[in-house]
Amino acid sequence: MDLSDERITMTARLEADSIWLEYGQHRILQNIYVRVDVGQVIGLLGRNGYGKSSLLEIIYGTRSAQNHSVRINGHYVDKLYQRPNTIAFLPQKSFIPGTLLISEVFGLYGSSVTTATELFPELTDMLPHRFDQLSGGQQRLIETVLVLTSPTDFVLLDEPFSNVMPLHVETLKVLISTVKHQKGILLTDHYYRDVLDISDTVYVLTSGGRTIQLTEPEQQLQHYGYIR
């Protein structure tokens, strides 16, 4: 059955497991399992160096690993980013060419300018400007909104709240909670309380490269040494 036909009859589901990543003798990821359904926000927490960004890149398809299994509705997909309208990714580093106009970027991504400007009216004044004319915080806001309002079933967000004003963080949380009704969202950020606020399920990535689904987030994050 074609994946596009299957989406008519069931909620789209993204799963990743059997991921093994190591560099030399240094093992980063093993015993991974993450599931994201459309209609959910899934939080991924873990200390620096534990492989959160690498995991998102493996799921997206831009980083190779010794082993991995990424599936949509049970169907294995090798490079998820190559499947149209399936997934959008916000990496840690800026990805928009500086010479592009903000209005052009929204058009290229097929993202909703209307949705963006309803929540962030100040973006209206940015539309005729080049990306490299914006501040770092404005750039991050544009990139995050762009990815969230793109026409895809799933979104991966790597530190969406980084370098963004607290007021905009709160509005981004509203946007995430709004668009999740049409998307499955997997996000990681060091602002863990913001992640906990909007997540339906939270995984913690441990030093052994495992993902553990949390049932009592505050207590378990202390147990695994993420917070003290």
pLDDT tens digit sequence for 74-111: 999 989 999 989 999 999 999 999 999 999 999 998 99
At 215 the pLDDT is 93
Give the residue among 59, 50, 86, 45 at the shortest CA–CA distance from 218: 45
Record the pTM: 0.92
Look up residue 170 and give its amino acid: E
Q: How many domains does the chain divide into?
A: 1
- State which residues form the domain around 160: 3-222
Q: Does residue 49 form part of some domain?
A: yes
User: Is pLDDT of 10 > 80?
Assistant: no
Q: Does residue 131 form part of some domain?
A: yes
Look up residue 89 and give its amino acid: F
Q: Does residue 33 form part of some domain?
A: yes
Q: Does residue 228 form part of some domain?
A: no
Residue owning tokens 């294995």? 76
In DSSP terms, 156 is beta-bridged to 89, 186
Predicted confidence (pLDDT) per residue in 36-63, tens digit: 999 999 999 999 989 999 999 999 999 9
Residue 218 to residue 165: CA distance in whole angstroms: 25
User: Residue 188 is inside which H or E element, if any?
Assistant: strand 184-188
Q: Does residue 139 form part of some domain?
A: yes
For CA atoms 28, 46, 59, 211, the dihedral sign is: positive
Q: Does residue 227 form part of some domain?
A: no
Residue 187 to residue 95: CA distance in whole angstroms: 17
